[in-house]
Amino acid sequence: MANPWGVIAVPHILHPSSESDRFKLTLNSDGRAHPVENTLAVTTLVCGAVALVAALVMSSHVIASWVGTFGFGTGFYSQYVSATTAQRSLNIIGLVASFVGLALGIARGGYLP
């Protein structure tokens, strides 16, 4: 029977044919290993999370300020040397969290106790 709308069924997109076609969470989407870039991206994300959480506690503004500064600098360098889109995504999330933690840390007292 002819398809009057010209729609072509693509069942391999909806149901992968093998285990290797399934979604894999990886920072190396280009198939090559990038250990330095991956470490920098994860470090940026962790620094951003620590800075953001520390900024929410009023008495830990020093930690939020310093970790946010370190995460911000690491994130910029990591963004510069990143090789894949997944690394860049982690970098942006970490950079934003580091910036917010840094800004709140500075607003609540800054770098010194």
pLDDT tens, per residue, the chain with 113 residues:
556 676 666 655 555 555 555 667 888 888 899 999 999 999 999 999 999 999 999 899 999 999 999 999 999 999 999 999 999 999 999 999 999 999 999 999 999 98
pTM for this predicted structure: 0.79
Burial 32-62 (b: 16+ CB within 10 A, else e): eebeebbebbbbbbbbbbbbbebbeeeebbb
